[in-house]
Structure 1
Amino acid sequence: MAPITKHIKAEARVSLQFNKWLFWNLLAAAVLASWYWLPNHGFWLDIDKSFFYYFNNKIGNSDAWVNVIAIANNRAFDGVALLAMGLVYYSYYRGQSDERKRQLLIIGLVMLLSAVGLNQLGRAIPVERPSPTLVFDNIYRLTELATFKTKDSSGDSFPGDHGLMLMIFTAFVWRFLSWKAGLWGCLFVVIYSAPRVMAGAHWWSDIYVGALSVACFGMAWLMHTGFYDGLISWLDRHLPRLKKA
């Protein structure tokens, strides 16, 4: 029996990891409810304002800061985050056996499909929230100060899609690679979601309420119910295998 099949079947004996499933569902519900139901989003709005005005004042007082944040919010910079995630994944992929490499490719495919699906789930939340640069008056706009194309606003910024993708990656590598890879993922969440907050294109809570609640809910149902284990096992059986020369 192939190693991937052994691994999946061993975990499938306890398909529902109830404690983990319950914890992540409760965390998602508590975080989202505390933001959604509190008047004017309660203490979350105070946090959002603090982050926005802190970084907005920096934009207004430093040309160097304008250029750095403008570069980080250019579409081309998104490739840096993708490269960083790819390097972490590849560092675990190289040197593995052919069977393990096949498993990692399948896991990567499932991760991409999950990212697409959970992004659509996030868009289904009945919230339409413009970014802070479209809400507050008398502020500095990165797009007006930078000398090249960048981004500082969104008509619907909740939940933060960049943060969500990074959190999904973190969940996958923590579960299927190692806790060290998971820590890299956590670092990437902070680093690569920060530019949107610094520019005012996202509220801080778009990331750490919106994206976090969607990621926790989605990963709880997909990762701790045996769904992923069954799907990966099914794909391993049905996807064609490359024949060695």
Structure 2
Amino acid sequence: MKYPGLFQARWNLGGLALCNLVPLVLLGFWLWPVGQMLCVIFDEWLFRLLNAPLATHSTWLQVWAVASLRPFDAVVGVILLTLLIRGNWVFKTTEVRRGFFGFFSILLLMVVIRALFSKVAAHMGWQHHSPSMVIEGAVRMSDYFPGLEKAWELKDRSSQSFPGDHASVLIIWALFLTLFSRTFGQLLVIWGLAVLFMMPRLVAGAHWGQDDYIGGLLLAVWALGWGYFTPFTYHASNFWLKVTAPVFALLGKLPVVSRMSVVSAAN
């Protein structure tokens, strides 16, 4: 079986080195007392800018309350997946299925990296409470909508907010698609959506900015480095393509589903 050449069965040492250096620089800056002070100053300003209007603008409060619900994460997931598997957008139709499994493999790798990093962070005492729990005068949406918090898991605080898991998924999605983007318009859509969907946690105060632009970013870059710039994604995507081939063969017989690029693509 011949596969399109999205991924390479070789090591890209330059790319791998860069994707290890960037997280280390970010982490070093964050741990440096001056760097940490700058992050805190910026994050407090950003939080007050985004969070304070919740107390005086009911529309702002309601919009971000909905966006902070767990079910909204599923909506975001559908949007990201739709763009990922849309034929002839970032990926050619014949590359969609392989591109999807490449991203899926890197995402699984990031889960492993996240688990290992969390153990290190816990051991080193890097965890912290979210801004809604420590900044005086913070507006908690759960105080306005206690029913939503119980029924739909409204997310506006965390006792362990570093790193930002939600942000790391959005960033790895954006970085992955950026590798294959061909136009400025694609980049604008990809990063515009990534930043937009990171906003609910920041507005609600469930995360500090540094949880995202330090923690979420370093996890995503590490995963991209060890996934894309090594033979990992090449072999992993080949594996998933072979294992799922019978499933897609069956899906290809369904009237509507068979039209989807990820199903009809001749991978």
Correspondences of 1:78-157 after superposition (within 5 Å): 78-92=73-87, 96-97=93-94, 100-126=95-121, 127-146=126-145, 148-149=147-148, 150-157=154-161
Cα gap change, 1:63/1:36 in structure 2, threshold over 3 Å: closer, same or farther? same
Counterparts of 1:156 and 1:31, CA distance in 2: 19
Cα gap change, 1:124/1:189 in structure 2, threshold over 3 Å: closer, same or farther? farther
Q: CA deviation at 1:209?
A: 0.6
Q: Cα RMSD (Å) of the superposition? A: 2.7
Instruction: Name which of structure 1's ranges 225-234 and 54-63 shifts more when overlaid on structure 2.
Output: 225-234
| Aligned twin of 1:33 | 28
Q: CA deviation at 1:18?
A: 2.3
Q: CA deviation at 1:192?
A: 0.4
Please say if residues 119 and 164 of structure 1, whose CA atoms lie closer than 8 Å, have aligned partners that are also in contact.
no
| Aligned twin of 1:50 | 45
Q: How many residues align?
A: 236
User: In the TM superposition, what whole-angstrom CA distance separates every residue of 1:146-171 from its partner, at most 9, and x where no partner exists?
Assistant: 36412210111111111111112123
User: In the TM superposition, what whole-angstrom CA distance separates every residue of 1:49-86 from its partner, at most 9, and x where no partner exists?
Assistant: 00111122211222222111111111121122112112
**Identity of matched residues, %:** 24
Counterparts of 2:100 and 2:49, CA distance in 1: 42
Cα gap change, 1:183/1:123 in structure 2, threshold over 3 Å: closer, same or farther? farther
| Aligned twin of 2:260 | none
Correspondences of 1:1-245 after superposition (within 5 Å): 2-4=2-4, 7=5, 11-12=8-9, 15-38=10-33, 41-92=36-87, 96-97=93-94, 100-126=95-121, 127-146=126-145, 148-149=147-148, 150-175=154-179, 177-180=180-183, 183-236=188-241, 238-239=242-243, 241-242=245-246
Q: CA deviation at 1:182?
A: 5.2
**Structure 1 residue ranges without an equivalent (≥5):** none
Cα gap change, 1:204/1:37 in structure 2, threshold over 3 Å: closer, same or farther? same
Q: CA deviation at 1:105?
A: 4.7
Counterparts of 2:30 and 2:189, CA distance in 1: 28
Per the alignment, in what secondary structure is the counterpart of residue 163 of structure 1? Answer: helix
User: In the TM superposition, what whole-angstrom CA distance separates every residue of 1:100-135 from its partner, at most 9, and x where no partner exists?
Assistant: 454245335424423433432442341221101111
Q: TM-score by structure 1 length?
A: 0.83
Please say if residues 152 and 196 of structure 1, whose CA atoms lie closer than 8 Å, have aligned partners that are also in contact.
yes
| Partner AA of 1:140 in structure 2 | V
Per the alignment, in what secondary structure is the counterpart of residue 198 of structure 2? Answer: helix
Please say if residues 166 and 185 of structure 1, whose CA atoms lie closer than 8 Å, have aligned partners that are also in contact.
no
Instruction: Name which of structure 1's ranges 205-214 and 180-189 shifts more when overlaid on structure 2.
Output: 180-189
- Point out 4+ residue stretches in structure 1 off by more than 4 angstroms: 179-183
Instruction: Name which of structure 1's ranges 18-27 and 187-196 shifts more when overlaid on structure 2.
Output: 18-27
Q: CA deviation at 1:188?
A: 2.2
